[in-house]
């Protein structure tokens, strides 16, 4: 038995659709029944982007099935609306916000590390490596929506902006992390934590002039690099402040008023 399933996505999920499919019901021809996950991802929306699904007005999960005549409404993560009384399709948030980033997001990884967030990045990592490194314990950040459609990926986000600073602000906003910024606690190169280093313990490889002018030093516990507040420090502080302001700004996009299937 065949028929059509009508699907509509809301709010920022429309960014993932072709312009002709945005803000409207889209009909999908099906034979028999089909898992909602397959219907949604065929439209181009990875399951990691979805927080709530309504089928004919009732809450449903990604593995529930739909058939001809069903109407499916697909919603993103809700910022301020409490949807705890209905069935959310995303897994519970991780206890701590740690990331793994694909090969296209190297500069974003440095920004996130500068902001204090545990962010793995490897230039030689392929898709299988990224899924393994995420391992259900890290949020996979990527520009490749196909990667987020893998069932093994439980926590992920499709990064929309192209500019790394805008990407950082979007990640903070998406995961509500602006209040958790702790600058300069991680190595920008290898991601390992920094530990305070007394001036008398600073290695001779650091120029004498630097040791004379500065009192505060830190050493990376991974690559052993030594850091201090050099001439670039003020610019980094200003960048962090700009990212935080952008992250806390109210997005002009609002959840569309129609919320029933």
What's the pLDDT tens digit per position in 123-145? 999 999 999 999 989 999 999 99
Residue spans of the domains in the chain: they are 2-75, 98-177+235-246, 194-233
Cα–Cα distance, 242 to 235 (Å, whole number) = 11
Nearest C-alpha neighbor of 46 from the set 24, 18, 74, 82: 74
What's the pLDDT tens digit per position in 86-119? 566 666 666 678 999 999 999 999 999 999 999 9
Residue 7 DSSP code: E
What's the pLDDT tens digit per position in 223-248? 999 999 988 999 999 999 999 999 99
Whether 257 shows a pLDDT value over 50: the answer reads: no
- Burial string for 166-179 (b: 16+ CB within 10 Å, else e) reads ebbbbbbbbbebbe
Domain 2-75 sits in CATH 3.10.20.30: yes
What's the pLDDT tens digit per position in 38-49? 999 999 999 999
Whether 153 shows a pLDDT value over 50: the answer reads: yes
pLDDT bracket for residue 186 (50, 70, 90): very high
């Amino acid at each position: 038995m065949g028929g059509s399933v009508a699907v509509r996505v809301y709010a920022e999920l429309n960014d993932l659709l072709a312009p002709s499919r945005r803000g409207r019901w889209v009909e999908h021809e099906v034979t028999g029944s089909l898992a909602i996950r397959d219907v949604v991802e065929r439209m181009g929306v990875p399951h990691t982007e979805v927080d709530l699904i309504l089928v004919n007005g009732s809450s449903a999960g990604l593995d529930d099935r739909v058939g001809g005549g069903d109407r499916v409404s697909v919603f993103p993560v809700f910022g301020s609306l409490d949807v705890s009384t209905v069935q959310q399709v995303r897994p519970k948030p991780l206890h701590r916000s740690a990331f793994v980033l694909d090969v296209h997001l190297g500069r974003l990884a440095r920004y996130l590390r500068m902001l204090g967030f545990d962010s793995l990045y490897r230039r030689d990592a392929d898709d299988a490596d990224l899924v393994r490194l995420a391992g259900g314990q890290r949020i996979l950040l990527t520009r490749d929506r196909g990667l987020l459609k893998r069932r093994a990926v439980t926590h992920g986000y499709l990064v929309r902006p192209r500019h790394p600073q805008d990407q950082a602000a979007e990640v903070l906003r998406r995961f509500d992390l602006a209040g958790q910024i702790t600058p300069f606690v991680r190595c920008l190169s290898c991601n390992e934590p920094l530990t305070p280093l007394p001036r008398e313990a600073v290695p001779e490889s650091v120029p004498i002039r630097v040791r004379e002018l500065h009192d505060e030093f830190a050493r990376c516990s991974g690559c052993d690099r030594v850091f201090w507040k050099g001439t670039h420090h003020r610019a980094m502080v200003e960048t962090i402040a700009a990212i935080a302001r952008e992250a806390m700004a109210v997005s002009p996009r609002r959840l569309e008023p129609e919320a029933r299937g």
